């Protein structure tokens, strides 16, 4: 069952996917459903003895292309819609114990091509309005499978956070003679320099001045490219290089493989009123505030939407820069 319900108090959709309750939960490594299928072994999600990078539809999807029409409920306050969309799993490698940070730059570059391809193909579906590419990494984030993988949600609506960001960028453009909010932010960060972590030829990574997590980092395209699919070959190469350097730094920071959420914000594919304002970027939110303490999204963050951060971006960027081994 994939259903959307409208929350009239926050004016946003909430997605219900009841079959997800039964999803595979931290199986022992020898039963990993994301490994290749061994000869004579149990059938995994990938019916092959080896693979490079694989994309397939999530078996326990939050949205489904065939979601049934939901019956109305009569009450005008209670609006329902089918949870129509696509949820894909992206297997980064057949090596169960690897992580994105440990992969060769060439493999990350191939992943950039895969992400760009999925953005275009899923975005072209008429019921898809936003293609959201992300990775949840680590048990602290709630991952249920350790095999290195990311996910793609092709939503039937522009989700609240990118929507807010697009609206801010649209208004900024109108009020600032057509300037891009993200281009100006990036210029300010590079000019200030204190929060910059990695400077590539086409991409730069920094802890934003207004970070919501202590070790949050954003990876911005220097050129105002609206989506990952719009990146030229040299830009894709540099994105892979900058991601790799940042990720290696994350793992050096506390001396262990750092959990994080990685999310990509880019242009909606709905052809709607957000056209011409998106600026492709990747955001990382590691939950750790120290090596052994996590930042929880509790009462203030969840119930009030107000983030409290116990470290200044200038300090955390300095530590990250050191971990990355970048001179400044």
| Residue numbers annotated as active site | 149
- DSSP three-state, residue 284: strand
Category of 40 on φ-ψ map: left (φ > 0), alpha (ψ -120 to 50) or beta:
left
Q: Are 250 and 284 in contact (CB under 8 A)?
A: yes
Q: Smaller CB distance to its own copies: residue 172 or 254? A: 172
The footprint of its own copies on residues 258-317 (CB under 8 A) is: 261-263, 265, 283, 285, 289-290, 293-300, 302-312, 315
Which of 90, 100, 108, 185 touches its own copies by CB under 8 A?
185
Name residue 3's beta-bridge partners: 16, 82
Per-residue b or e along 92-106, where b marks 16 or more CB atoms closer than 10 Å to that residue's CB: bbbeeeebbbbbeee
Q: List the one residue out of 41, 21, 152 whose CA is nearest residue 91.
A: 152
Q: Smaller CB distance to its own copies: residue 48 or 164? A: 164
Applying CB under 8 A, what is the total number of residues that bind its own copies? Answer: 86
Radius of gyration of the chain (CA): 20
The footprint of its own copies on residues 124-183 (CB under 8 A) is: 130, 132, 134-136, 141-143, 151, 153, 155, 159-165, 168-169, 172, 181-182
The footprint of its own copies on residues 92-111 (CB under 8 A) is: none
Per CB under 8 A, 28 contacts its own copies: no
The footprint of its own copies on residues 202-231 (CB under 8 A) is: 208-212
Per CB under 8 A, 75 contacts its own copies: yes
Quote the CA–CA distance of 60 and 55 in Å, as a whole number.
15
Shortest distance in whole angstroms from residue 140 CB to its own copies: 9
What is the DSSP code (8-state) at residue 265?
Answer: E
Shortest distance in whole angstroms from residue 12 CB to its own copies: 7
């Amino acid at each position: 069952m994939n259903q959307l319900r409208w929350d009239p108090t926050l004016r946003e959709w909430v997605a219900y996917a009841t079959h997800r309750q039964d999803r595979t939960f931290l199986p022992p490594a020898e039963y990993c459903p994301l490994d290749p299928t061994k000869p004579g072994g149990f059938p995994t999600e990938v019916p092959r003895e080896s693979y490079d990078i694989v994309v397939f539809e999530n078996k326990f999807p939050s949205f489904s292309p065939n979601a049934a029409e939901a019956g109305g409920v009569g009450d005008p306050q209670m609006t329902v819609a089918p949870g129509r969309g696509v949820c894909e799993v992206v297997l980064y490698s057949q090596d169960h114990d690897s992580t994105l940070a440990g992969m060769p730059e060439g493999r990350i570059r191939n992943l950039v091509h895969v992400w760009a391809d999925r953005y275009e193909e899923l975005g072209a579906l008429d019921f898809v309005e936003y293609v959201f590419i992300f990775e949840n990494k680590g048990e602290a984030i709630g991952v249920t499978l350790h095999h290195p993988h990311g996910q793609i949600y092709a939503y039937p609506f522009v989700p609240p956070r990118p929507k807010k960001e697009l609206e801010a960028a649209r208004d900024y453009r109108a009020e600032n003679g057509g300037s891009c909010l993200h281009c100006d932010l990036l210029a300010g960060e590079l000019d200030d320099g204190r929060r910059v972590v990695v400077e590539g030829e086409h991409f730069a990574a920094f802890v934003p001045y207004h970070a919501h997590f202590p070790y949050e980092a954003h990876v911005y395209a220097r050129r105002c490219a609206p989506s990952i699919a719009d990146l030229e070959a040299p830009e894709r190469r540099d994105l892979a290089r900058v991601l790799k350097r940042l990720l290696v730094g994350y793992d050096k920071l506390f001396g262990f493989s750092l959990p994080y959420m990685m999310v990509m914000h880019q242009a909606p594919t709905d052809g709607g009123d957000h056209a011409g304002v998106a600026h492709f970027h990747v955001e990382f939110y590691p939950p750790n505030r120290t090596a052994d303490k996590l930042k929880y999204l509790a009462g203030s963050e969840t119930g009030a939407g107000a983030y409290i951060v116990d470290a200044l971006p200038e300090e955390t960027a300095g530590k990250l820069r050191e971990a990355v081994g970048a001179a400044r």
